[in-house]
Amino acid sequence: MPRIAYVNGRYLSHRDAFVHVEDRGYQFADGVYEVCEVARGYIVDMGPHLDRLDRSLKELSIAWPVSRKALTIIMREVVRHNRVIDGLVYLQVTRGVASRDFVFPANAKPSLVVLARKADPGFQARRATTGIKVITVPENRWERVDIKSVGLLPNVLAKQKAKEAGCQEAWFVDTDGMVKEGGSSNAWIVTRDGVLVTRPADHGILRGITRTTLFKVASRLGLKIEERPFAVEEAMRAREAFISSATTIVLPVVEIDGRPIANGEPGSVALSLREAFFDVAEKSRA
């Protein structure tokens, strides 16, 4: 069965799913996106993801391409057409198609693309048992990373650098030596006292939906969280480190810039958060 994508009102074969060459997402990265995990036949945290989509659209003065209710139906249909039980659903909204000009076009209609794909549900679970390695890179992105924009070239370059170093993620570090977030994840550490630490989700990082759900998971597990910046050196001395995102949930970090974290093995706190996540997260039947 061929993959199916939704593009501006039509369900199309993946190989025939195209956008116009003057779409502003293509020419200016003038758009936003969201990615939801699909697990066990449920779209995970769909409501919070659409809440964040709404915020991103408002920050860029882009209108919703369809109603929120219609978008939830489209997402479910794309997941169903692609028979995704475990995987992800991706949606992207741009300002639309217009003759190339930097200022907002007067009458452009927002463009909407929705994709879904299957994933091996055991892949990230296996990674969690071994942990991942991280490198650090200087922060070089624009200040409004709280908007989930499709302008991700710095993230692409950082993650490529991580891959070339034999690592799976890159952490952006500010001029004060403080960790901001990963190329596609939020960054966490666990102190020697068992306290979870993650940077405040102000304009310096993206307010991750999985990050937010982990606050509820931590509460259920009786774990304390501190929202504050932490330095690379503190992370290297930590009891544990881990990342969170919709596509990875929680993955332990066992090495930063070639230095092992604690004993170099996945930590129990990260693994317990991962284990409890699905039961706490919002679940919408796909």
Domain-ending residue, one of 63, 91, 119: 119
Dihedral Cα 40, 49, 35, 25, nearest 10 deg: 160
The reply to whether 80 and 154 lie within a common domain is no
* 155 contacts 183 by C-beta, under 8 angstroms: yes
The reply to whether 152 and 250 lie within a common domain is yes
The reply to whether 66 and 132 lie within a common domain is no
The reply to whether 63 and 161 lie within a common domain is no
* pTM of this structure: 0.96
Altogether, the residues listed in the chain come to a count of 286
Marked catalytic residue, from 58, 133, 148, 180: 148
CA 146 – CA 248 distance, rounded (Å): 20
- The string of pLDDT tens digits covering residues 272-281 is 999 999 999 9
Say which residue the tokens 């004060």 belong to: 176
User: Where are any strands of DSSP class E within 52-110?
Assistant: 87-94
* Domain of residue 128, CATH code: 3.20.10.10
Mean pLDDT over 164-185 rounds to: 98
The reply to whether 280 and 146 lie within a common domain is yes
Q: Which residues pair with 186 in a beta bridge?
A: 244
Chain-centroid distance, C-alpha 90: 11
- The string of pLDDT tens digits covering residues 53-65 is 999 999 999 999 9
180 is known as an active-site residue: no
Domain-ending residue, one of 66, 96, 119: 119
The reply to whether 230 and 247 lie within a common domain is yes
Residue 34, both tokens:
């969201």
- The string of pLDDT tens digits covering residues 187-243 is 999 999 999 999 999 878 999 999 999 999 999 999 999 999 999 999 999 999 999
The reply to whether 198 and 264 lie within a common domain is yes
CA 180 – CA 230 distance, rounded (Å): 8
* 168 contacts 187 by C-beta, under 8 angstroms: no
The reply to whether 187 and 247 lie within a common domain is yes
CA 253 – CA 28 distance, rounded (Å): 34
Indicate the burial class of 176 (C-beta count within 10 angstroms; 0-12, 13-18, 19 or more): exposed
The reply to whether 65 and 182 lie within a common domain is no
* Domain of residue 39, CATH code: 3.30.470.10
Give the per-residue pLDDT at 165. 98
| Total number of domains constituting the chain | 2
* 68 contacts 35 by C-beta, under 8 angstroms: no
The reply to whether 83 and 130 lie within a common domain is no
Count CB atoms within 10 A of the CB of residue 254.
22
Domain with 245 in it: 124-285
Q: Cα separations (Å) of 123 from 37, 248, 251? A: 14, 9, 11
The reply to whether 54 and 102 lie within a common domain is yes
φ/ψ bin of 79: left (φ > 0), alpha (ψ from -120 to 50), beta (otherwise)? alpha
For residue 2, what pLDDT band results from cuts at 50, 70 and 90?
confident
Domain-ending residue, one of 119, 142, 173: 119
Q: Which residues neighbour 200 within 8 Å (Cβ) at sequence distance 6 or greater?
A: 227, 228, 229
The reply to whether 82 and 167 lie within a common domain is no
Q: What's the distance, Cα to Cα, between the start and end of the chain in Å?
A: 19
Q: Kindly tell me if the per-residue pLDDT of 1 is higher than 80.
A: no
Backbone angles phi, psi at 190, to 5 degrees: -120, 125
